[in-house]
Structures are given as C-alpha cells and as structure tokens.
Amino acid sequence: MTDNALPLGDGRPLHWASPLYELVFHLANMIPTMLGLGLAASSERFAIWGVAGMIVMGVATIIYSVFAARRIRYWITDEDLVIRSGIIGRTVRRIPWARVENVQQKRNVLHRLTGVAEVVVEAGGGMNAEAKLRVLSLAAAAEFEQAVREHKQGTAAPISQAETAALLTLDSPELVRAGLISNQGWLAVGAMFALVYQFDDYFPVGQWMKDAGSATVSAVGLDHGVVFWISLLIVLALVGFALMRVLSITWWLVRFHGFSLHLVDEKLSTEHGLFTKRRGASHRQRVQRLLVLDGWLYRLFKRQAIQVGVAGQREALNETDSLRWLAPVVRAERRSELLNVALPILDERSLDWRPLHNSAGWRVWFSHAIFVPLLLLLLVVSPSLVAVLVVAALVLITLDAFAYARFAGYAIDDRIVAFREGFLDRQTWFVPIDRIEWVALITSPMDRANGTASVSIELRTRGPGGRAQIPMLALADAEALASRLRQQLALLAD
C-alpha cells in the first residue's frame, strides 16, 4: 500500500455536528478580518465593500466548513492510523502506532452540551499535534482510545474497577485552599490590565487611577509622618492581597474542577476543568522530571504541589492540554506516595543530600540586594520611610539568602539525580538518569571568581522544563558529578 492509498472501506466519519464546530473554529480565526470589514462597512466610502466582503466571507466559510467536515474520514488498521482530509486537494496522513505517544480528549462547554469530544493524537515529540479529530461522539472517542491501547500494547485486557479508581481527587474545599496558597490571581490582573490598555481610548482607566492617586495625595497632604505612610501601605497591601486571593480561588475552581489522577496499564492520566474538560495522559516510562513545590503558604496549610515533565511533551505551545500536574495540590503526607506512582525507582529516604559551595549564600544575597537602591525613588515621599524600608529589605534578604544556602543541595544515586533550593518558596526536582540526553559543565564569570561551576542537564523534551541545572557547586564537586552522570549514561547506552 502506498502512502497515499487508503485502506479498504469508506472509513469512519466525524460526528454529524462536525460542520458546526468547523464553522466556529474558522470564524474564531477570522475575527481580525471581520473586524476590519466591519470598520469598512461603518464608513461612508467603503460601506458597500465592507458589507459585501462580510457576506462573501461568511457564506464561503459556511460552505467550506460543511464540505471540509464531511470529507474527513479516519481508518484504524493493524499498522497505523489513517486520516483523510481536504476538499480540492486530498491529504492522507498515516501515523504508525509505534509513533503514537499519547491520545487526549478535550471538551469545552459546547462539546459537553452536545455530547461530543475533541480527540488529539500526539506522536513523534514534535511541537504540534500529529492529528486532531475535532468532533467525535463520546462512544467513538472511547472506542478510538481503546483501539490505541490495543495496538500500542497488544490486546488490552478489560480494565477492572480497582484499576480505574482515582489515585487523587480534589474537591471544592481543597481547591479553595489551593487558591489561598497560590498566586494565580495575578494572571487575571494581568489580563485585566491588557484589556484596559486595548480600550484606553474609550475607558481611560489608567488616567482615572492617576487622577485618583493625585486627589488622595492632595487630600491627605505630604506632611504626615512615617507611621501614616507605613499604615497606608499596609492597608493597600492587605486589600491587594485579598483581591488576589479571591481571583486565585476563582481560577482554581474553574481550571481544576473535578480533578482526578488515574494509573491504568502503566499510563498516568488526569482530567479536570469546569467549562472546558481537559484530559492529559502519559506512560510512566516517559516521565522525565518531577518538581515538588513547597512554598511557605503550602507549608502553612500542610500542602504541596507536584508537577510532571514528560518526554516529547509540547509544553511551549500546548501546556494546557498536556500532562503537566501530578497533583496541583496534595496533603504533604501523600507526597512520597504520589512520587513513587510516577517514578517507582525513586526512594527519597535513601538520597544523600550534599550542600552547595560556601559562596552560595553571598551570591544569592547580592543578586537580591542589587535591587534595594530602587527604594531611593521613594525619597520624594519620605526619607524616613526609605530608611525603614531599606533596613527591612536588607534584613529579609539576608535571612532569605543564607536560609536558601542552608536548605539548597543536590543528591545522586545509581538511578536518580535531584536538586532542591529556596527558603520561603522551596522546590525540589527529581530526574531519572536514564532519561537524560547529555550533561554539560558551565562556568560563568562569577563561577570562575569563586571557584564554582554549574552542571546543566538536558532532558528529552523541547519545551520549557527541558533543562535542569544544579548551580554554585565547588568546581571539584561539579566535575565529579558531571563525570559520574556521563559514566552512568554510557553504561545505560551499552
């Protein structure tokens, strides 16, 4: 059979509602063009052309969506997945089962209302999805996933209820705690400011804020003492903190509603989302890094978070649809259990943690203290306030830097290399040695001045998180660590 030849039979069509989804997809991509035509239609000179353009593009898009959706067919054969598409020019895509890495389902509000799902096939570790079947019925999507399991692993045995039981579920109270812990409210604030900037001509919010600030300063005057200004800053900080928490809680409830983690046939999978139901999955053999987040608010609530990095994962362009979280929030006592689920070779208790170089504390202190002079910009408000803030900042920076140096360290055994850092916001990552691509020794001017080096570890993904680094090691320790990792990689290659 040639690459463009189709298997026998008519193939399987998409859901009957697929033209509607194709239409929505293409109209969303045409929004900038339609806005331009709408502006032309509102002018006296180009009104007729703008209206005609909108009618022609709208009708053409409807016709194209109907025929494009009807032309799509897919075949599941013993050797590969075959997808045919195209109206005038026919495109036939053949994906061998050996190249298929993952199959995901995504369901937004419209999908859920009409009882369908979008199925995405990931293969080969590229930056884009290998194939996308935009609309399948739930039965067809489940049949598709079952066929992938059978062809990837042989005839799949029936899945028992015990196997499908969730390893982790997150209810609403747990998501509220996560919202109190995290800072995702800043995402909503950033989006709000971006929206305000786009419509500044109609709603000059920035100017309103400047006017309100000037009016407030004029009302209270500048002759108040240090206590007044410190109190004002504290009140504003508390109000801002409360707003961030409310926005963060909302974000968590929408994004991770109904979160569940499963392990079936060596495959980890998650499902979550209120409006758009997202599913991500990966075989445990593709897990290449686990990152444990343990900030001070996490510790206050006795919680942690665990991110997962997967070989070939398209984090750069598709992080919302990838298996990214092993546990967005989890009780601290369940940390080891979930880490072992993703990496059975990991035994935290056996790791021998070693410190960084003695200069680590001073280097972290300097990297933070370099921004303290920015506080001098407040001299116009109150010199006394600046003095208090500078002293407080230096004290906090000193405590943070040397507590960081005391906590930070690395560990290595025959199968795992690990690194931990931070003080208020701590994080620890674990990387299986057999999933490392290569190791490099890096020395910056600061390293050469202090007799240190960093060990850079390249992993098997090409998105953010594709590299791990252990910084500020004594040069002899860095060379020994890099040499040991290279030797173990050579033994594994043999």
CATH, residue 395 = 2.30.29.30
Measuring CA to CA, which residue among 288, 260, 61 is closest to residue 165? 260
Cβ count within 10 A of residue 66: 15
Same domain, 233 and 314: yes
The residues, any chain, with a CB within 8 Å of residue 455's CB and separated by 6 or more, are 439, 440, 441, 442, 469, 470, 473, 478, 481, 482, 485
Q: Which helix (H) or strand (E) holds 355?
A: strand 354-355
Backbone torsion region of residue 287, taken as left when φ is above 0, otherwise alpha when ψ lies between -120 and 50, otherwise beta? beta
Residue-level pLDDT, tens digit, the chain, 494 residues: 455 678 878 888 888 888 888 888 888 888 888 888 887 777 777 788 888 888 888 899 889 888 888 888 888 888 888 888 888 777 888 888 877 777 777 787 778 778 888 888 876 555 455 678 888 888 888 888 888 777 766 544 444 444 457 899 999 999 999 988 887 656 666 666 665 555 555 556 666 666 666 666 566 665 566 666 677 778 777 877 788 888 888 889 988 999 999 998 788 889 888 887 787 788 888 888 999 999 888 999 999 999 998 876 554 444 445 688 999 999 999 999 999 999 999 998 889 999 999 999 999 998 888 888 777 766 656 677 777 878 888 888 899 898 999 999 999 998 999 999 998 889 999 999 998 988 999 999 999 999 999 999 988 765 445 678 999 999 999 999 999 999 998 888 76
Token pair, residue 309, equals 């990095």
Clarify whether residues 129 and 163 are in a common domain.
no
Q: Are residues 130 and 219 in the same domain?
A: no
pLDDT of residue 464: 47
Cα–Cα distance for residue pair 476/340, rounded to 1 Å: 32
Q: Do 104 and 189 fall into the same domain?
A: no
Write the CATH number for 119.
2.30.29
Same domain, 90 and 164: no
Please check whether residues 147 and 170 belong to one and the same domain: no
Pairing state of beta strands 100-107 and 425-432? unpaired
* Whether 319 contacts 465, CB under 8 Å: no
Q: Which residues constitute the domain of residue 419?
A: 350-494
Alpha helices, H only, 370-410? 383-407
Residues 357 and 417 in one domain: yes
- HSE-up of 372 (CA within 13 Å, CB side)? 19
Tell me, what amino acid is at 320?
Answer: T
Domain count, the chain: 3
Instruction: Report DSSP state, residue 275.
Output: S
**Whether residues 33 and 139 fall in one domain:** yes
Question: Residue with structure tokens 């600061």?
Answer: 446
Look at residue 4 and tell me if it is in a domain.
no
Q: What are phi and psi of 107, to 5 degrees?
A: -135, 115
Residue 1 in any domain: the answer is no
Q: Which of 114, 139, 156 lies at the terminal end of a domain, its last residue?
A: 156
**What is the pLDDT, as a whole number, of residue 24?**
84
Q: Helix (H, G, I), strand (E, B), or coil: what is residue 22?
A: helix
> Residue 27: phi, psi to the nearest 5?
-65, -35
Question: What strands, in cross-sheet order, belong to the sheet with 436-442?
Answer: 436-442, 452-459, 467-474
pLDDT of residue 316: 40
**What is the torsional sign of CA 382, 388, 394, 397?**
negative
Distances from the Cα of 480 to the Cαs of 412, 430, 442, in angstroms?
11, 19, 13
Both 293 and 405 in one domain: the answer is: no
Task: Indicate whether 354 and 337 sit together in one domain.
Answer: no
Q: Are 44 and 177 in the same domain?
A: no
Judge if 372 and 390 occupy the same domain.
yes
Q: Which of 344, 361, 377 is the last residue of a domain?
A: 344
User: Of 156, 172, 190, which residue is a domain's last?
Assistant: 156
In-domain check, residue 3:
no
Handedness of CA 249, 252, 255, 256 (dihedral sign): negative
Residues with Cβ within 8 Å of residue 156, at least 6 apart in sequence: 146, 149, 150, 265
Q: What are the tokens at 325? A: 């979280």
Nearest CA to 174 out of 304, 321, 307, 278 is that of: 304
